[in-house]
Structure 1
Protein backbone atom coordinates (compact mmCIF):
# COMPACT_ATOMS: atom_id res chain seq x y z
CA UNK A 1 0.00 0.00 0.00
CA UNK A 2 1.11 3.55 -0.70
CA UNK A 3 2.06 6.13 1.89
CA UNK A 4 -0.05 9.23 1.44
CA UNK A 5 0.31 12.96 2.05
CA UNK A 6 -2.26 15.66 2.73
CA UNK A 7 -1.52 18.98 1.00
CA UNK A 8 -3.30 22.00 2.51
CA UNK A 9 -3.60 25.21 0.51
CA UNK A 10 -3.30 27.94 3.14
CA UNK A 11 -1.64 30.84 1.32
CA UNK A 12 -4.75 32.87 0.54
CA UNK A 13 -6.45 35.70 2.37
CA UNK A 14 -10.22 35.73 1.84
CA UNK A 15 -11.37 38.94 0.17
CA UNK A 16 -15.04 38.26 0.88
CA UNK A 17 -14.12 37.67 4.52
CA UNK A 18 -12.95 41.28 4.80
CA UNK A 19 -9.21 40.80 4.36
CA UNK A 20 -8.69 38.80 7.54
CA UNK A 21 -6.72 35.58 7.69
CA UNK A 22 -9.77 33.34 7.79
CA UNK A 23 -7.65 30.16 7.77
CA UNK A 24 -6.50 31.02 11.31
CA UNK A 25 -9.91 31.86 12.82
CA UNK A 26 -10.61 29.87 16.00
CA UNK A 27 -13.83 27.85 15.75
CA UNK A 28 -13.39 24.96 18.24
CA UNK A 29 -14.02 24.99 22.02
CA UNK A 30 -10.29 24.68 22.77
CA UNK A 31 -9.17 27.22 20.20
CA UNK A 32 -9.08 24.85 17.23
CA UNK A 33 -9.21 26.20 13.69
CA UNK A 34 -10.90 24.42 10.77
CA UNK A 35 -7.56 22.99 9.63
CA UNK A 36 -7.20 21.17 12.95
CA UNK A 37 -10.33 19.15 12.20
CA UNK A 38 -9.18 18.32 8.67
CA UNK A 39 -5.78 17.17 9.96
CA UNK A 40 -7.41 15.16 12.76
CA UNK A 41 -9.63 13.40 10.20
CA UNK A 42 -6.67 12.84 7.86
CA UNK A 43 -4.57 11.25 10.61
CA UNK A 44 -7.53 9.07 11.61
CA UNK A 45 -7.94 8.01 7.95
CA UNK A 46 -4.24 7.04 7.69
CA UNK A 47 -2.41 9.94 6.03
CA UNK A 48 1.23 10.01 7.14
CA UNK A 49 2.37 13.56 6.28
CA UNK A 50 0.97 17.07 5.97
CA UNK A 51 2.39 19.69 3.61
CA UNK A 52 1.24 23.27 4.22
CA UNK A 53 1.28 25.70 1.31
CA UNK A 54 1.72 29.15 2.86
CA UNK A 55 3.29 32.53 2.13
CA UNK A 56 6.49 33.70 3.77
CA UNK A 57 4.71 36.66 5.39
CA UNK A 58 2.26 34.26 7.10
CA UNK A 59 4.95 31.90 8.32
CA UNK A 60 5.45 33.22 11.87
CA UNK A 61 1.74 33.42 12.75
CA UNK A 62 1.00 30.17 10.98
CA UNK A 63 3.62 28.16 12.83
CA UNK A 64 2.65 29.68 16.19
CA UNK A 65 -1.07 29.01 15.74
CA UNK A 66 -1.01 25.58 14.11
CA UNK A 67 2.34 24.32 12.84
CA UNK A 68 4.07 23.87 16.19
CA UNK A 69 1.15 21.80 17.51
CA UNK A 70 0.66 19.65 14.43
CA UNK A 71 4.36 18.77 14.21
CA UNK A 72 3.85 16.73 17.40
CA UNK A 73 1.09 14.67 15.75
CA UNK A 74 2.30 14.01 12.19
CA UNK A 75 5.24 14.71 9.88
CA UNK A 76 4.99 18.28 8.60
CA UNK A 77 6.64 20.17 5.74
CA UNK A 78 6.12 23.68 4.36
CA UNK A 79 6.22 25.04 0.83
CA UNK A 80 5.76 28.68 -0.13
CA UNK A 81 3.50 30.17 -2.77
CA UNK A 82 4.83 33.53 -3.97
CA UNK A 83 4.09 35.71 -6.98
CA UNK A 84 7.67 35.53 -8.20
CA UNK A 85 7.90 31.73 -7.92
CA UNK A 86 7.80 31.18 -11.68
CA UNK A 87 9.43 28.81 -14.19
CA UNK A 88 12.78 29.76 -15.69
CA UNK A 89 12.46 32.50 -18.29
CA UNK A 90 9.42 34.16 -16.70
CA UNK A 91 9.20 37.11 -14.33
CA UNK A 92 6.35 38.62 -12.35
CA UNK A 93 4.61 41.51 -14.12
CA UNK A 94 5.17 44.71 -12.16
CA UNK A 95 1.45 45.36 -11.70
CA UNK A 96 0.56 41.79 -10.71
CA UNK A 97 -0.76 41.57 -7.13
CA UNK A 98 -3.25 38.70 -7.40
CA UNK A 99 -1.93 35.18 -6.60
CA UNK A 100 -1.45 32.88 -9.58
CA UNK A 101 -4.11 30.41 -8.39
CA UNK A 102 -4.51 26.94 -6.96
CA UNK A 103 -2.61 25.25 -9.80
CA UNK A 104 0.52 27.23 -9.02
CA UNK A 105 -0.04 26.63 -5.30
CA UNK A 106 0.07 22.85 -5.67
CA UNK A 107 2.96 23.10 -8.15
CA UNK A 108 5.02 24.53 -5.27
CA UNK A 109 5.00 20.99 -3.82
CA UNK A 110 7.18 19.65 -6.66
CA UNK A 111 10.30 18.10 -5.15
CA UNK A 112 8.67 17.82 -1.70
CA UNK A 113 5.73 15.52 -2.44
CA UNK A 114 6.77 12.23 -4.07
CA UNK A 115 3.86 10.00 -3.09
CA UNK A 116 0.10 9.92 -3.76
CA UNK A 117 -1.45 13.00 -2.20
CA UNK A 118 -4.74 14.70 -1.41
CA UNK A 119 -5.29 18.43 -1.81
CA UNK A 120 -7.72 20.51 0.27
CA UNK A 121 -8.47 24.14 1.07
CA UNK A 122 -7.38 25.33 4.51
CA UNK A 123 -10.65 27.03 5.37
CA UNK A 124 -13.08 24.23 4.45
CA UNK A 125 -14.49 21.49 6.66
CA UNK A 126 -14.92 18.33 4.59
CA UNK A 127 -16.06 15.66 7.07
CA UNK A 128 -14.65 12.27 7.92
CA UNK A 129 -16.18 10.29 5.05
CA UNK A 130 -14.34 12.21 2.36
CA UNK A 131 -10.92 11.66 3.95
CA UNK A 132 -11.54 7.93 4.32
CA UNK A 133 -12.68 7.55 0.71
CA UNK A 134 -9.83 9.61 -0.78
CA UNK A 135 -7.28 7.84 1.43
CA UNK A 136 -8.55 4.40 0.38
CA UNK A 137 -8.28 5.41 -3.27
CA UNK A 138 -4.75 6.78 -2.91
CA UNK A 139 -3.52 3.82 -0.88
CA UNK A 140 -4.44 1.44 -3.65
CA UNK A 141 -3.85 3.50 -6.79
CA UNK A 142 -1.03 2.51 -9.11
CA UNK A 143 1.42 5.36 -8.55
CA UNK A 144 2.82 4.94 -12.05
CA UNK A 145 -0.42 4.24 -13.89
CA UNK A 146 -0.35 5.42 -17.47
CA UNK A 147 -4.02 6.39 -17.46
CA UNK A 148 -3.36 9.13 -14.88
CA UNK A 149 -6.20 7.99 -12.66
CA UNK A 150 -7.04 10.58 -10.01
CA UNK A 151 -10.00 11.11 -7.70
CA UNK A 152 -12.08 13.88 -6.21
CA UNK A 153 -14.60 14.07 -3.39
CA UNK A 154 -18.03 14.78 -4.82
CA UNK A 155 -20.13 16.73 -2.33
CA UNK A 156 -23.90 17.07 -2.44
CA UNK A 157 -24.64 20.62 -3.58
CA UNK A 158 -27.34 21.12 -0.96
CA UNK A 159 -24.80 20.31 1.76
CA UNK A 160 -22.44 23.10 0.64
CA UNK A 161 -24.62 26.20 0.36
CA UNK A 162 -24.25 29.28 2.57
CA UNK A 163 -27.16 31.01 4.28
CA UNK A 164 -25.22 34.26 4.16
CA UNK A 165 -24.64 34.83 0.47
CA UNK A 166 -24.21 33.37 -2.97
CA UNK A 167 -21.45 30.86 -3.74
CA UNK A 168 -19.51 29.53 -6.72
CA UNK A 169 -19.38 25.77 -7.20
CA UNK A 170 -17.94 23.38 -9.76
CA UNK A 171 -20.98 21.31 -10.73
CA UNK A 172 -19.87 17.85 -11.85
CA UNK A 173 -21.12 15.74 -14.72
CA UNK A 174 -20.46 12.12 -13.75
CA UNK A 175 -20.70 9.16 -16.16
CA UNK A 176 -22.33 5.81 -15.41
CA UNK A 177 -19.02 4.36 -14.18
CA UNK A 178 -18.61 7.11 -11.60
CA UNK A 179 -15.93 9.05 -13.49
CA UNK A 180 -15.92 12.78 -14.07
CA UNK A 181 -17.05 13.89 -17.54
CA UNK A 182 -16.56 17.60 -16.92
CA UNK A 183 -16.96 20.32 -14.30
CA UNK A 184 -19.17 23.32 -15.04
CA UNK A 185 -18.10 26.34 -13.00
CA UNK A 186 -21.37 27.88 -11.83
CA UNK A 187 -21.61 31.30 -10.20
CA UNK A 188 -23.97 33.11 -7.85
CA UNK A 189 -25.58 29.91 -6.59
CA UNK A 190 -28.31 30.13 -3.97
CA UNK A 191 -31.11 27.87 -2.83
CA UNK A 192 -34.62 28.63 -4.04
CA UNK A 193 -37.17 26.18 -2.74
CA UNK A 194 -36.31 22.61 -3.75
CA UNK A 195 -33.60 23.61 -6.24
CA UNK A 196 -30.63 25.94 -6.56
CA UNK A 197 -30.22 28.67 -9.15
CA UNK A 198 -27.07 30.31 -10.48
CA UNK A 199 -25.34 31.46 -13.65
CA UNK A 200 -23.04 29.67 -16.06
CA UNK A 201 -19.75 31.04 -17.35
CA UNK A 202 -21.59 33.15 -19.95
CA UNK A 203 -23.92 34.70 -17.39
CA UNK A 204 -26.93 32.63 -18.43
CA UNK A 205 -29.30 31.52 -15.63
CA UNK A 206 -29.21 27.83 -14.72
CA UNK A 207 -31.22 25.63 -12.39
CA UNK A 208 -29.37 22.89 -10.49
CA UNK A 209 -30.76 20.02 -8.46
CA UNK A 210 -29.72 20.09 -4.80
CA UNK A 211 -28.38 16.51 -4.98
CA UNK A 212 -25.92 17.37 -7.78
CA UNK A 213 -22.29 16.46 -7.11
CA UNK A 214 -20.00 19.46 -6.76
CA UNK A 215 -16.26 19.87 -6.39
CA UNK A 216 -15.04 21.58 -3.21
CA UNK A 217 -11.39 21.37 -4.23
CA UNK A 218 -10.69 18.07 -2.49
CA UNK A 219 -8.62 16.05 -4.93
CA UNK A 220 -6.47 12.93 -4.93
CA UNK A 221 -3.45 12.79 -7.26
CA UNK A 222 -0.45 10.65 -8.07
CA UNK A 223 3.02 12.31 -8.12
CA UNK A 224 3.27 12.74 -11.90
CA UNK A 225 0.43 15.27 -11.71
CA UNK A 226 3.01 17.79 -10.48
CA UNK A 227 4.83 17.50 -13.80
CA UNK A 228 1.53 18.08 -15.59
CA UNK A 229 1.04 21.21 -13.49
CA UNK A 230 4.51 22.48 -14.38
CA UNK A 231 4.02 21.97 -18.13
CA UNK A 232 0.56 23.52 -17.99
CA UNK A 233 1.76 26.55 -16.01
CA UNK A 234 4.35 27.33 -18.66
CA UNK A 235 1.62 27.14 -21.33
CA UNK A 236 -0.60 29.38 -19.18
CA UNK A 237 2.11 32.01 -18.77
CA UNK A 238 3.03 31.93 -22.46
CA UNK A 239 -0.58 32.54 -23.45
CA UNK A 240 -1.25 35.21 -20.83
CA UNK A 241 -2.47 38.60 -22.03
CA UNK A 242 -0.02 41.15 -20.60
CA UNK A 243 -2.94 43.42 -19.71
CA UNK A 244 -4.70 40.70 -17.73
CA UNK A 245 -3.38 40.98 -14.18
CA UNK A 246 -6.03 38.76 -12.61
CA UNK A 247 -5.99 35.54 -14.68
CA UNK A 248 -5.48 32.48 -12.48
CA UNK A 249 -4.04 29.04 -13.12
CA UNK A 250 -6.69 26.92 -11.44
CA UNK A 251 -6.57 23.28 -10.39
CA UNK A 252 -10.08 22.38 -11.69
CA UNK A 253 -9.23 23.84 -15.11
CA UNK A 254 -6.03 21.78 -15.34
CA UNK A 255 -7.86 18.58 -14.39
CA UNK A 256 -10.78 19.39 -16.69
CA UNK A 257 -8.45 19.94 -19.64
CA UNK A 258 -6.71 16.60 -19.03
CA UNK A 259 -10.07 14.81 -18.82
CA UNK A 260 -11.35 16.46 -22.02
CA UNK A 261 -8.17 15.39 -23.84
CA UNK A 262 -8.50 11.80 -22.50
CA UNK A 263 -5.21 12.17 -20.65
CA UNK A 264 -6.70 11.55 -17.21
CA UNK A 265 -9.58 9.79 -15.46
CA UNK A 266 -11.08 11.18 -12.26
CA UNK A 267 -13.12 8.93 -9.99
CA UNK A 268 -15.84 10.91 -8.22
CA UNK A 269 -16.11 9.68 -4.63
CA UNK A 270 -19.57 10.71 -3.46
CA UNK A 271 -19.69 11.96 0.13
CA UNK A 272 -22.80 12.84 2.11
CA UNK A 273 -21.09 14.78 4.91
CA UNK A 274 -22.08 18.41 5.29
CA UNK A 275 -19.38 20.78 4.06
CA UNK A 276 -18.97 24.11 5.76
CA UNK A 277 -16.48 26.93 5.64
CA UNK A 278 -15.93 30.58 6.47
CA UNK A 279 -16.71 32.29 3.17
CA UNK A 280 -18.40 35.28 4.80
CA UNK A 281 -17.88 36.68 8.31
CA UNK A 282 -21.43 35.67 9.16
CA UNK A 283 -20.51 32.04 8.45
CA UNK A 284 -18.21 31.81 11.47
CA UNK A 285 -20.99 31.28 14.03
CA UNK A 286 -22.49 28.52 11.89
CA UNK A 287 -19.09 26.80 11.83
CA UNK A 288 -18.72 27.14 15.61
CA UNK A 289 -22.22 25.72 16.16
CA UNK A 290 -21.63 22.88 13.68
CA UNK A 291 -18.39 21.87 15.42
CA UNK A 292 -20.14 21.83 18.81
CA UNK A 293 -22.88 19.63 17.34
CA UNK A 294 -20.30 17.17 15.96
CA UNK A 295 -18.62 17.05 19.38
CA UNK A 296 -22.00 16.37 21.02
CA UNK A 297 -22.45 13.47 18.55
CA UNK A 298 -19.14 12.00 19.73
CA UNK A 299 -17.30 12.57 16.45
CA UNK A 300 -14.60 14.75 18.02
CA UNK A 301 -13.21 15.27 21.52
CA UNK A 302 -13.48 18.70 23.16
CA UNK A 303 -9.75 19.15 22.62
CA UNK A 304 -8.25 17.67 19.45
CA UNK A 305 -4.52 17.94 20.18
CA UNK A 306 -2.45 18.59 23.30
Structure 2
Protein backbone atom coordinates (compact mmCIF):
# COMPACT_ATOMS: atom_id res chain seq x y z
CA UNK A 1 0.00 0.00 0.00
CA UNK A 2 1.47 3.37 -0.93
CA UNK A 3 1.81 5.62 2.09
CA UNK A 4 0.83 8.76 0.22
CA UNK A 5 -2.89 9.50 0.34
CA UNK A 6 -5.06 9.78 -2.78
CA UNK A 7 -7.37 12.67 -3.70
CA UNK A 8 -10.77 11.59 -5.05
CA UNK A 9 -12.46 14.40 -7.00
CA UNK A 10 -16.23 14.34 -7.49
CA UNK A 11 -16.51 15.86 -10.96
CA UNK A 12 -19.57 14.13 -12.42
CA UNK A 13 -22.09 16.81 -11.36
CA UNK A 14 -23.84 19.07 -13.83
CA UNK A 15 -23.69 22.47 -12.14
CA UNK A 16 -27.40 23.06 -12.80
CA UNK A 17 -27.89 26.13 -10.56
CA UNK A 18 -24.77 27.78 -11.91
CA UNK A 19 -25.83 27.36 -15.51
CA UNK A 20 -22.80 25.72 -17.06
CA UNK A 21 -20.06 23.21 -16.45
CA UNK A 22 -18.30 25.03 -13.62
CA UNK A 23 -15.84 22.16 -13.13
CA UNK A 24 -13.98 23.28 -16.25
CA UNK A 25 -14.66 27.02 -16.14
CA UNK A 26 -11.60 29.26 -15.72
CA UNK A 27 -11.36 31.43 -12.57
CA UNK A 28 -7.63 31.97 -12.00
CA UNK A 29 -5.51 34.72 -13.63
CA UNK A 30 -4.38 32.25 -16.34
CA UNK A 31 -7.77 30.62 -16.73
CA UNK A 32 -7.15 28.02 -13.98
CA UNK A 33 -10.18 26.04 -12.84
CA UNK A 34 -10.98 25.97 -9.11
CA UNK A 35 -10.05 22.29 -9.12
CA UNK A 36 -6.48 23.03 -10.22
CA UNK A 37 -5.92 24.88 -6.93
CA UNK A 38 -7.13 21.84 -4.99
CA UNK A 39 -4.78 19.57 -6.94
CA UNK A 40 -1.90 22.02 -6.45
CA UNK A 41 -2.61 22.20 -2.69
CA UNK A 42 -2.92 18.39 -2.50
CA UNK A 43 0.46 17.91 -4.19
CA UNK A 44 2.18 20.25 -1.73
CA UNK A 45 0.41 18.50 1.17
CA UNK A 46 1.97 15.17 0.10
CA UNK A 47 -0.80 13.44 -1.87
CA UNK A 48 0.47 10.89 -4.39
CA UNK A 49 -2.48 10.37 -6.73
CA UNK A 50 -5.62 12.10 -7.97
CA UNK A 51 -8.66 10.12 -9.15
CA UNK A 52 -11.40 11.94 -11.08
CA UNK A 53 -14.97 10.62 -10.92
CA UNK A 54 -16.63 11.72 -14.18
CA UNK A 55 -19.52 10.89 -16.45
CA UNK A 56 -18.77 9.25 -19.78
CA UNK A 57 -19.85 12.37 -21.68
CA UNK A 58 -17.31 14.64 -19.95
CA UNK A 59 -14.42 12.12 -19.75
CA UNK A 60 -12.56 13.33 -22.84
CA UNK A 61 -13.14 16.95 -21.91
CA UNK A 62 -11.74 16.37 -18.40
CA UNK A 63 -8.67 14.59 -19.78
CA UNK A 64 -8.08 17.39 -22.28
CA UNK A 65 -8.45 20.05 -19.61
CA UNK A 66 -6.37 18.57 -16.79
CA UNK A 67 -3.85 16.06 -18.12
CA UNK A 68 -1.55 18.52 -19.96
CA UNK A 69 -1.19 20.51 -16.73
CA UNK A 70 -0.83 17.83 -14.04
CA UNK A 71 0.58 14.75 -15.77
CA UNK A 72 4.04 14.02 -14.39
CA UNK A 73 3.34 16.04 -11.23
CA UNK A 74 1.01 13.51 -9.60
CA UNK A 75 -0.36 10.09 -10.59
CA UNK A 76 -3.74 10.48 -12.35
CA UNK A 77 -6.68 8.15 -12.90
CA UNK A 78 -10.26 8.51 -14.17
CA UNK A 79 -13.28 6.52 -12.99
CA UNK A 80 -16.75 6.62 -14.54
CA UNK A 81 -19.95 7.11 -12.58
CA UNK A 82 -23.01 6.01 -14.50
CA UNK A 83 -26.58 5.00 -13.70
CA UNK A 84 -25.53 1.35 -14.00
CA UNK A 85 -22.30 1.50 -11.93
CA UNK A 86 -22.66 -0.97 -9.03
CA UNK A 87 -26.39 -1.23 -9.86
CA UNK A 88 -27.57 -4.83 -10.38
CA UNK A 89 -29.81 -5.24 -13.41
CA UNK A 90 -33.00 -5.70 -11.44
CA UNK A 91 -32.54 -2.21 -9.90
CA UNK A 92 -31.75 -0.38 -13.14
CA UNK A 93 -34.55 1.95 -14.15
CA UNK A 94 -34.72 3.41 -17.70
CA UNK A 95 -36.74 6.37 -16.35
CA UNK A 96 -33.97 7.48 -14.01
CA UNK A 97 -31.87 10.44 -15.20
CA UNK A 98 -30.56 11.79 -11.89
CA UNK A 99 -27.11 10.56 -10.75
CA UNK A 100 -27.16 8.51 -7.55
CA UNK A 101 -25.25 11.05 -5.45
CA UNK A 102 -21.90 11.55 -3.75
CA UNK A 103 -21.62 8.28 -1.79
CA UNK A 104 -22.39 6.33 -4.96
CA UNK A 105 -19.64 8.34 -6.71
CA UNK A 106 -17.18 7.29 -3.98
CA UNK A 107 -18.26 3.66 -4.32
CA UNK A 108 -17.44 3.82 -8.05
CA UNK A 109 -13.75 4.22 -7.08
CA UNK A 110 -13.73 1.07 -4.95
CA UNK A 111 -11.55 -0.95 -7.34
CA UNK A 112 -9.16 1.92 -8.04
CA UNK A 113 -8.24 3.18 -4.55
CA UNK A 114 -6.45 0.94 -2.06
CA UNK A 115 -4.90 3.61 0.23
CA UNK A 116 -6.33 6.27 2.60
CA UNK A 117 -8.04 8.96 0.54
CA UNK A 118 -9.69 12.37 0.69
CA UNK A 119 -12.90 13.26 -1.15
CA UNK A 120 -13.64 16.76 -2.49
CA UNK A 121 -16.06 18.53 -4.80
CA UNK A 122 -14.51 19.68 -8.07
CA UNK A 123 -15.97 23.17 -7.83
CA UNK A 124 -15.12 24.24 -4.27
CA UNK A 125 -11.96 26.08 -3.21
CA UNK A 126 -10.92 24.56 0.12
CA UNK A 127 -7.63 26.31 0.95
CA UNK A 128 -4.16 24.91 1.56
CA UNK A 129 -4.65 24.55 5.35
CA UNK A 130 -7.50 22.10 4.74
CA UNK A 131 -5.27 19.90 2.57
CA UNK A 132 -2.48 20.07 5.16
CA UNK A 133 -4.67 18.87 8.05
CA UNK A 134 -6.37 16.11 6.08
CA UNK A 135 -3.08 15.00 4.49
CA UNK A 136 -1.57 14.70 7.96
CA UNK A 137 -4.59 12.77 9.25
CA UNK A 138 -4.55 10.35 6.29
CA UNK A 139 -0.81 9.73 6.74
CA UNK A 140 -0.80 9.33 10.53
CA UNK A 141 -4.22 9.23 12.17
CA UNK A 142 -6.61 7.31 9.95
CA UNK A 143 -7.81 3.83 11.09
CA UNK A 144 -10.21 1.30 9.51
CA UNK A 145 -12.87 2.64 11.91
CA UNK A 146 -11.69 6.28 12.18
CA UNK A 147 -12.34 8.73 9.36
CA UNK A 148 -12.41 12.54 9.19
CA UNK A 149 -13.96 15.60 7.67
CA UNK A 150 -12.73 19.18 7.49
CA UNK A 151 -15.09 21.51 9.34
CA UNK A 152 -15.80 25.06 8.12
CA UNK A 153 -17.45 27.74 10.28
CA UNK A 154 -20.83 28.44 8.75
CA UNK A 155 -20.39 32.22 8.49
CA UNK A 156 -17.49 31.65 6.04
CA UNK A 157 -19.39 29.44 3.60
CA UNK A 158 -22.49 31.40 2.60
CA UNK A 159 -23.34 33.02 -0.74
CA UNK A 160 -24.39 36.65 -1.05
CA UNK A 161 -26.55 35.70 -4.02
CA UNK A 162 -29.02 33.18 -2.64
CA UNK A 163 -29.52 30.29 -0.27
CA UNK A 164 -27.07 27.41 0.09
CA UNK A 165 -27.31 23.81 1.30
CA UNK A 166 -24.93 22.77 4.06
CA UNK A 167 -24.46 19.75 6.31
CA UNK A 168 -24.70 21.27 9.81
CA UNK A 169 -22.62 19.26 12.29
CA UNK A 170 -22.98 18.33 15.95
CA UNK A 171 -19.82 17.22 17.76
CA UNK A 172 -18.86 15.69 21.08
CA UNK A 173 -16.12 16.97 23.44
CA UNK A 174 -13.48 14.97 21.51
CA UNK A 175 -14.28 16.84 18.26
CA UNK A 176 -15.93 13.78 16.80
CA UNK A 177 -19.06 14.02 14.73
CA UNK A 178 -22.26 13.01 16.51
CA UNK A 179 -24.45 13.68 13.51
CA UNK A 180 -25.11 15.93 10.57
CA UNK A 181 -28.31 17.52 9.36
CA UNK A 182 -28.56 18.71 5.76
CA UNK A 183 -30.13 22.19 5.77
CA UNK A 184 -31.11 23.11 2.22
CA UNK A 185 -31.95 26.82 2.43
CA UNK A 186 -29.44 28.76 4.54
CA UNK A 187 -28.93 32.50 4.15
CA UNK A 188 -28.15 35.62 6.15
CA UNK A 189 -31.26 37.51 7.24
CA UNK A 190 -30.93 40.74 9.22
CA UNK A 191 -27.45 39.85 10.39
CA UNK A 192 -28.45 36.34 11.52
CA UNK A 193 -27.82 33.00 9.82
CA UNK A 194 -31.18 31.37 9.21
CA UNK A 195 -32.04 27.94 7.82
CA UNK A 196 -35.54 27.76 6.36
CA UNK A 197 -37.28 24.52 5.54
CA UNK A 198 -40.25 22.28 6.38
CA UNK A 199 -42.18 25.35 7.47
CA UNK A 200 -39.72 26.33 10.19
CA UNK A 201 -36.87 28.81 10.54
CA UNK A 202 -33.85 27.90 12.65
CA UNK A 203 -31.10 30.28 13.66
CA UNK A 204 -27.60 28.77 13.39
CA UNK A 205 -24.79 30.14 15.56
CA UNK A 206 -21.93 31.73 13.59
CA UNK A 207 -19.10 29.36 14.55
CA UNK A 208 -21.12 26.18 13.92
CA UNK A 209 -19.04 23.73 11.86
CA UNK A 210 -20.53 22.57 8.59
CA UNK A 211 -19.41 20.02 6.03
CA UNK A 212 -18.26 21.27 2.64
CA UNK A 213 -17.87 17.69 1.44
CA UNK A 214 -14.17 17.40 2.27
CA UNK A 215 -13.75 13.94 3.76
CA UNK A 216 -10.88 11.66 4.70
CA UNK A 217 -11.43 7.89 4.65
CA UNK A 218 -9.62 4.64 5.29
CA UNK A 219 -10.15 2.29 2.31
CA UNK A 220 -12.04 -0.07 4.68
CA UNK A 221 -14.97 2.32 4.22
CA UNK A 222 -15.64 0.90 0.73
CA UNK A 223 -17.01 -2.36 2.20
CA UNK A 224 -19.26 -0.41 4.55
CA UNK A 225 -20.48 1.87 1.76
CA UNK A 226 -21.24 -1.13 -0.45
CA UNK A 227 -23.36 -2.72 2.29
CA UNK A 228 -25.32 0.53 2.78
CA UNK A 229 -25.65 0.91 -1.00
CA UNK A 230 -27.33 -2.50 -1.29
CA UNK A 231 -29.78 -1.48 1.43
CA UNK A 232 -30.36 1.89 -0.27
CA UNK A 233 -31.17 0.23 -3.61
CA UNK A 234 -33.70 -2.08 -1.97
CA UNK A 235 -35.38 0.76 -0.10
CA UNK A 236 -35.48 3.14 -3.09
CA UNK A 237 -36.27 0.84 -5.99
CA UNK A 238 -39.31 2.90 -7.05
CA UNK A 239 -37.87 6.33 -6.24
CA UNK A 240 -36.07 7.58 -9.37
CA UNK A 241 -34.98 10.80 -7.63
CA UNK A 242 -33.45 9.22 -4.53
CA UNK A 243 -29.79 10.01 -3.82
CA UNK A 244 -27.12 8.27 -1.76
CA UNK A 245 -25.01 10.92 -0.03
CA UNK A 246 -21.77 10.80 1.97
CA UNK A 247 -23.35 12.34 5.14
CA UNK A 248 -25.78 9.39 5.15
CA UNK A 249 -22.77 7.06 5.21
CA UNK A 250 -21.11 9.09 8.00
CA UNK A 251 -24.29 9.11 10.10
CA UNK A 252 -24.75 5.35 9.57
CA UNK A 253 -21.17 4.58 10.63
CA UNK A 254 -21.58 6.67 13.79
CA UNK A 255 -25.03 5.31 14.72
CA UNK A 256 -24.03 1.68 14.14
CA UNK A 257 -20.80 2.13 16.13
CA UNK A 258 -18.82 0.84 13.12
CA UNK A 259 -16.87 4.05 12.72
CA UNK A 260 -16.10 7.50 14.07
CA UNK A 261 -15.53 10.72 12.15
CA UNK A 262 -13.13 13.32 13.52
CA UNK A 263 -13.91 16.95 12.66
CA UNK A 264 -10.61 18.60 11.70
CA UNK A 265 -10.16 22.32 12.27
CA UNK A 266 -8.62 23.21 8.94
CA UNK A 267 -11.34 25.04 7.09
CA UNK A 268 -10.10 28.63 7.09
CA UNK A 269 -10.72 29.73 3.49
CA UNK A 270 -13.56 28.53 1.33
CA UNK A 271 -15.25 29.87 -1.73
CA UNK A 272 -17.39 28.31 -4.37
CA UNK A 273 -19.66 29.09 -7.25
CA UNK A 274 -23.24 28.22 -6.43
CA UNK A 275 -24.63 31.02 -8.59
CA UNK A 276 -23.27 32.75 -11.71
CA UNK A 277 -23.06 35.98 -9.67
CA UNK A 278 -20.48 34.32 -7.39
CA UNK A 279 -17.96 34.13 -10.23
CA UNK A 280 -16.46 37.68 -10.02
CA UNK A 281 -15.90 37.23 -6.25
CA UNK A 282 -13.98 34.00 -6.84
CA UNK A 283 -11.89 35.55 -9.63
CA UNK A 284 -11.02 38.50 -7.37
CA UNK A 285 -10.17 36.26 -4.36
CA UNK A 286 -7.84 34.09 -6.45
CA UNK A 287 -6.12 37.12 -7.98
CA UNK A 288 -5.39 38.45 -4.46
CA UNK A 289 -3.90 35.08 -3.45
CA UNK A 290 -1.60 35.11 -6.48
CA UNK A 291 -0.64 38.73 -5.83
CA UNK A 292 0.21 37.99 -2.19
CA UNK A 293 2.43 35.06 -3.21
CA UNK A 294 0.24 32.32 -1.75
CA UNK A 295 0.21 30.83 -5.24
CA UNK A 296 2.89 31.29 -7.92
CA UNK A 297 2.17 33.57 -10.90
CA UNK A 298 1.41 30.43 -12.92
CA UNK A 299 0.39 27.27 -11.04
CA UNK A 300 2.07 24.76 -13.34
CA UNK A 301 5.24 26.44 -14.67
Instruction: Flag whether TM exceeds 0.5 (same fold).
Output: yes
Question: In the alignment, what sits opposite 2:169?
Answer: 172
Inter-partner Cα distance in structure 2 for 1:72 and 1:261 = 42
* 8 Å CA contact 1:156, 1:271 repeated in 2: no
Inter-partner Cα distance in structure 1 for 2:244 and 2:261 = 19
* 8 Å CA contact 1:2, 1:140 repeated in 2: no
Question: In the alignment, what sits opposite 1:34?
Answer: 34
Deviation at 1:193, TM superposition (A): 4.1
Indicate the larger mover: 62-71 or 104-113: 62-71
Indicate the larger mover: 134-143 or 233-242: 134-143
* 8 Å CA contact 2:6, 2:50 repeated in 1: yes
Residues 215 and 224 (structure 1 numbering): CA distance in 2 closer, same or farther, change over 3 Å? same
Question: In the alignment, what sits opposite 1:86?
Answer: 86
Aligned match for 1:191, one of 175, 188, 191: 188
Indicate the larger mover: 257-266 or 33-42: 257-266
| TM-score under structure 2 length normalisation | 0.96
Local SS of the residue matching 1:79: strand
Deviation at 1:192, TM superposition (A): 2.5
Where do 4+ consecutive residues of structure 1 move more than 4 Å? none
Deviation at 1:195, TM superposition (A): 2.6
Local SS of the residue matching 1:133: helix
| TM-score under structure 1 length normalisation | 0.94
Deviation at 1:6, TM superposition (A): 0.5
Inter-partner Cα distance in structure 2 for 1:304 and 1:21 = 22
Inter-partner Cα distance in structure 2 for 1:228 and 1:155 = 26
Deviation at 1:90, TM superposition (A): 3.6
Inter-partner Cα distance in structure 1 for 2:32 and 2:151 = 26
Local SS of the residue matching 1:209: coil
Question: In the alignment, what sits opposite 1:265?
Answer: 260
Local SS of the residue matching 1:287: helix
Deviation at 1:174, TM superposition (A): 1.1
Unpaired segments ≥5 residues, structure 2: none
Inter-partner Cα distance in structure 2 for 1:260 and 1:174 = 13
